[in-house]
Structure 1
Amino acid sequence: MLIVIIIAVFASWGVGDMFSAGKTNVVAEVSGKNIYSEDYVNELRNGLQTKNYQNVSDAIKDNLHIQILNQLVAEKIFEIYAEEEKIIINDKTLSNFIKDIPEFSKNEKFSRTEYEKYLLKNQISSFSFETSFKKNLLKKLIVESQNLDSISTSYHTTRVKDYFEKKISISYINLEDLYEDVDITEKEILDYHKKKPSYSNELRSIKYAVINQNKEANQSSDLFFKNISDIENMVLSNRTFDDIATQFSLNIKKSDLFNKDGVIKNSLKATAFDRSIIQKSFYLNDQITSELIEVKGSFYLIGINEIVKKKPLILNDEVKKNIINKIKKTNINSKANFLINKIKEQNLFDQLISKKKKTVKQLDLKNRLEKNKTFSPNQIQQIFNLKKNELLVVKGPKNYLIKAIDTSYDRTKSNDEMDKLYERQVAMNFDEQIMQSFDKFLNNKYKVKINQKVLDRITNSF
């Protein structure tokens, strides 16, 4: 839980300039204790593999790289806190906890054979398992030391019961349907094009070298990966593509010009490069002049060969169509903001839909965990916060005006077993409040500094 909460305060960490230019092997510091780049890279690779990301950009959008860094920061905070509070897990204590794990027992006794089977099945060494287990055990002991016995009152239990058993019926309309009759004039199109001209796609050509283990020359795996590690360090030190290629006698090739979608200039064909190489090609700039990327077991060192900058497009029919769509989207967002300010006005919903009743839709939501094709889980939570006849504007890829027609509670779910679950939830809520206070204390006590330059380089190298 602490790891999740610590993510929320990431923006408050110190970033960037406090690190010396030569400190390329440290991604962050917690009260002067280092978090090393190698540990971050290993955890990030494990995270990509564990979560089965096919595309690194999807992982970045999901903030996996930030979650991994938060995990390492949280572990470092626990480590420092444990040292200060003299919370120690010695080898004997660790051994006793591991021997109590049911998966490692046979005939109600610890079995070394079952333990070894587990390690083989999960392809993990005993050292790695025991190190990870010790870290998690330390966190568990610290967290449990903060929790107090929580008392569940009937008031709080009723509130939790209402939260989970609430049902709601709504009417809603897409704001695009509500304001579809608004025409975009030629003057609006010309003004928009003048202020925000449309441009052609930027094109790039890269220099690249494919680096594989030279088995014909009997190159050992140790030597190969040492070279890869040396190249990676040179990339992190912002050495140029040409410098690195020369030092390691790499075979340099040059690509055709292609855009961000990987489409080759004057062609409908896509480049043969992996998507990750295409994306990294457009990250390169004067500060980041080279990247090392692993694709299906091969390593690619890339650098910029040529850049064709964006050019203003002539105002033809296709450009006009794109401008109209952009203006409409801007107008809808403005209307949504206007409605948010008017949301408490009586009869607002009925007045707005009076001529658009055919486009108004009805929806009955049986519980707040129900999946829906129209509304996201976060929007569902907003809808369930409504009282009868209240209005809500939800914004997103599509914007909706919503009215709560009726609310009720499904008491058919209530029974002794469910009541116990509700009481347990109340206790969890109290525990969460305690842990939030403890987390705030830790974040105020231990100062975190991020080496943003190294963090960006490592992230972009994947």
Structure 2
Amino acid sequence: MLGTLRKFSSSILAKVFLFIVAIPFVFWGMGDLFSGGNKNTIVKIGKEKISINEFIGYIKYSPEIKDNDLNNQAIRKLFNTFLGEKLISMEIKKLGISLSDISLARVIKNEKIFKKDNKFSRIEYEKFLLKNNMNAVVFENKISQQIKKEILFNFIGGGVVPPVFLINNDYNKINQERYVRYINLNNVFSKKFNFTNEQIKDYYEQNENLFKKNYTTIRFIELNTENLSDGNDYSDYFFKKIDEIDDLIVEGKNINFISKKFNLNIIEEVTFDDSGKSKSNEKKINFSDDMVKNILKNKIKSTLLLEDKNKYYLVEVDEINNIRMNISDPVSKNKIISNLENKVKREFMTVLISKINKNNFKKKDFDSYSLNEEVSIKNTKIISQNDTKIFDQDLINQIYKFPENRVIIVADLGLTKNYLIHIDKIENKSIDKNANDFDNYFNLSKVKMTSTIYDTYDSHLNNKYKIKINEKVLNGVQNYLR
């Protein structure tokens, strides 16, 4: 928690601005929905009761989400952050951390955004507040609170100096050289890929849901200056007509009614899947991916006014059909073969991994496997954890997790790159204090140590304060805001 709260921009103004910018939400009219008795308390920290209104206010001004992102997970995440902020505020108060008005004024006056001709300008300050719909009291309180948090964090983790052995340890983890021998397992798998038509058919029948697609049919009209106004320019008259169409959609009018009213005679029709492709798997519509997503969000007979690539469209969702793809379709067949190949890969790798985990697959077994499967062993030297000449970064990270003289399997998530690897030798490295990048590794070790201190302090706070969350109220907030 503390590590997350600590990650702010270096500018005090930027930090505070995150918490001030107002975002329109549905919270303004919540009224007395949760008021009365314990129903108004969302969490109790020690003897202090935190009201639901305080949490709602926190969400309302949060820059982390938009109004259409208010799902249970987002609300729960915001609540955890809100709880962390409350604990930090209580610690600041208990430790007596304060900031004088003189110090606060000095911070504000040193912000570049409030300067004119390199001097603090009260006018620029007032303009900033007006532009962002803020008042000075709230803004300055936020700045003060943020600086106090910085003082607290420095109190907890400031002054950390990592010892040389930790710096060398972090340096070595990244820069140690590894000599490895490897077998490309794809060369083994390719010999096993010989699927009969019967196997392909059986897979298709047993997994029919994998081969169904939703196809949406829409009717649409591009709205432009030619069909909506007499001129070639986007005039006020054109946008007035756009507004009229928008109002008609709100009133529930469909594309036929609007087309007739504005003499928009040509209505195009197109059918596409969730990726915007036709049944022949071709990209038939000249819409962006975002516009396709916007269309697919809507139900049958929905009429929409959409803007895409600086163009306006009147769109109506005509029908949605769930269609089973034919087994002879190249897309279906490729998908079946790909899934069957991955099944073979998983089965073979499961057998190997089981042997490796039971310590029944060592260097001699590695060599025997190469001979039995008639695949070559290659040798390479990996000069650091950033060396991606042969293996991708994800595979390199997997290799660097294991010690010397171990046989391992590394693979990517899609099972497109799969290797059996023997870590033959590791050469450890250390860094001299006078090296050019010593400070980088010093800071890396310092960050890790500070993070550990924050985690420890986090545990201390959890033990220090008795926290009781009113789950019923929190669930009520989630249900109300969804």
User: How does the TM-score come out when normalised to structure 1?
Assistant: 0.64
Matched, 1:34 2:56: yes
2:382 paired residue number: 365
CA distance 1:365–1:67, change in 2 (3 Å): farther
Matched, 1:400 2:410: no
**Cα deviations by residue, 1:396-448 (Å, 9 ceiling, x for unpaired):** 2223222212211244x423355565454433222101222445657977787
Paired residues for 1:224-303 under 5 Å:
255-264=269-278, 268=282, 270-284=284-298, 295-296=308-309
Give the deviation of 1:96 after TM superposition: 2.0
**Cα deviations by residue, 1:234-266 (Å, 9 ceiling, x for unpaired):** xxxxxxx876558xx977977421122323456
The residue type equivalent to 2:434 in the other structure is D
CA distance 1:277–1:384, change in 2 (3 Å): same
Matched, 1:340 2:353: yes
Give the deviation of 1:366 after TM superposition: 1.7
Give the deviation of 1:309 after TM superposition: 1.3
Alpha carbon RMSD of aligned pairs, Å? 5.5
Paired residues for 1:7-46 under 5 Å:
25=26, 31=43, 32=52, 33-34=55-56
CA distance in 2: counterparts of 1:445 and 1:6, whole angstroms: 25
Give the deviation of 1:360 after TM superposition: 3.9
The residue type equivalent to 1:353 in the other structure is S
Candidates 395, 406, 409, aligned match of 1:390? 406
Matched, 1:188 2:199: yes
Does structure 2 conserve the Cα–Cα contact (< 8 Å) formed by 1:284 and 1:303?
A: no
Does structure 2 conserve the Cα–Cα contact (< 8 Å) formed by 1:178 and 1:353?
A: no
CA distance 1:193–1:354, change in 2 (3 Å): same
Does structure 1 conserve the Cα–Cα contact (< 8 Å) formed by 2:110 and 2:120?
A: no
Does structure 2 conserve the Cα–Cα contact (< 8 Å) formed by 1:175 and 1:400?
A: yes
Candidates 87, 109, 112, aligned match of 1:99? 109
Does structure 2 conserve the Cα–Cα contact (< 8 Å) formed by 1:6 and 1:74?
A: no
Candidates 129, 143, 164, aligned match of 2:174? 164
Q: Which moved more, 1:163-172 or 1:147-156?
A: 147-156
CA distance in 2: counterparts of 1:294 and 1:93, whole angstroms: 49
The residue type equivalent to 2:214 in the other structure is E
1:56 paired residue number: none
The residue type equivalent to 1:140 in the other structure is E
The residue type equivalent to 1:95 in the other structure is A
2:228 paired residue number: none
CA distance 1:315–1:90, change in 2 (3 Å): farther
Does structure 1 conserve the Cα–Cα contact (< 8 Å) formed by 2:180 and 2:421?
A: yes
The residue type equivalent to 1:386 in the other structure is F
CA distance 1:206–1:390, change in 2 (3 Å): same
Q: Percentage identity across aligned positions?
A: 16
User: How does the TM-score come out when normalised to structure 2?
Assistant: 0.62
CA distance 1:81–1:336, change in 2 (3 Å): same
The residue type equivalent to 2:351 in the other structure is F
List gaps (5 residues or longer) in structure 1: 8-23, 46-62, 232-240, 456-462
CA distance 1:88–1:298, change in 2 (3 Å): farther
CA distance in 2: counterparts of 1:389 and 1:326, whole angstroms: 34
Give the deviation of 1:337 after TM superposition: 2.8
1:80 paired residue number: 86
Candidates 336, 349, 359, aligned match of 1:323? 336
Q: Which moved more, 1:94-103 or 1:391-400?
A: 94-103
**Cα deviations by residue, 1:89-136 (Å, 9 ceiling, x for unpaired):** 7876543223345897899x85449x959x99xxx9577899598375
The residue type equivalent to 1:191 in the other structure is D
List gaps (5 residues or longer) in structure 2: 8-24, 29-33, 35-41, 44-51, 225-233
Matched, 1:351 2:372: no
The residue type equivalent to 1:435 in the other structure is Y
The residue type equivalent to 1:349 in the other structure is F
Number of aligned residue pairs: give it. Answer: 399
CA distance 1:282–1:355, change in 2 (3 Å): farther
**Cα deviations by residue, 1:57-104 (Å, 9 ceiling, x for unpaired):** xxxxxx9x9999899667644553455454777876543223345897
Matched, 1:431 2:450: yes
CA distance in 1: counterparts of 2:162 and 2:376, whole angstroms: 46
Give the deviation of 1:44 after TM superposition: 5.5
SS for the counterpart of 1:270 is coil
Q: Which moved more, 1:125-134 or 1:426-435?
A: 125-134
CA distance in 2: counterparts of 1:405 and 1:76, whole angstroms: 50
Does structure 1 conserve the Cα–Cα contact (< 8 Å) formed by 2:72 and 2:478?
A: no
Does structure 2 conserve the Cα–Cα contact (< 8 Å) formed by 1:6 and 1:70?
A: no
The residue type equivalent to 1:34 in the other structure is I
Give the deviation of 1:200 after TM superposition: 5.5
Candidates 204, 219, 225, aligned match of 2:216? 204
CA distance 1:102–1:308, change in 2 (3 Å): closer
2:37 paired residue number: none
SS for the counterpart of 1:140 is helix
Does structure 2 conserve the Cα–Cα contact (< 8 Å) formed by 1:202 and 1:259?
A: yes
Does structure 2 conserve the Cα–Cα contact (< 8 Å) formed by 1:152 and 1:423?
A: yes
CA distance in 2: counterparts of 1:142 and 1:401, whole angstroms: 49
SS for the counterpart of 1:97 is helix
The residue type equivalent to 2:453 in the other structure is I
Does structure 2 conserve the Cα–Cα contact (< 8 Å) formed by 1:3 and 1:70?
A: no
Give the deviation of 1:159 after TM superposition: 2.4
SS for the counterpart of 2:396 is helix
Matched, 1:415 2:433: yes
SS for the counterpart of 1:352 is helix
Does structure 2 conserve the Cα–Cα contact (< 8 Å) formed by 1:171 and 1:403?
A: yes
Greater relative CO (CA pairs within 8 A, separation 6+): 1
Give the deviation of 1:327 after TM superposition: 0.4
Does structure 2 conserve the Cα–Cα contact (< 8 Å) formed by 1:205 and 1:306?
A: yes
Does structure 1 conserve the Cα–Cα contact (< 8 Å) formed by 2:407 and 2:421?
A: yes
**Cα deviations by residue, 1:323-377 (Å, 9 ceiling, x for unpaired):** 222101121123223322222322332222225565544332222233456323x
Give the deviation of 1:202 after TM superposition: 2.5
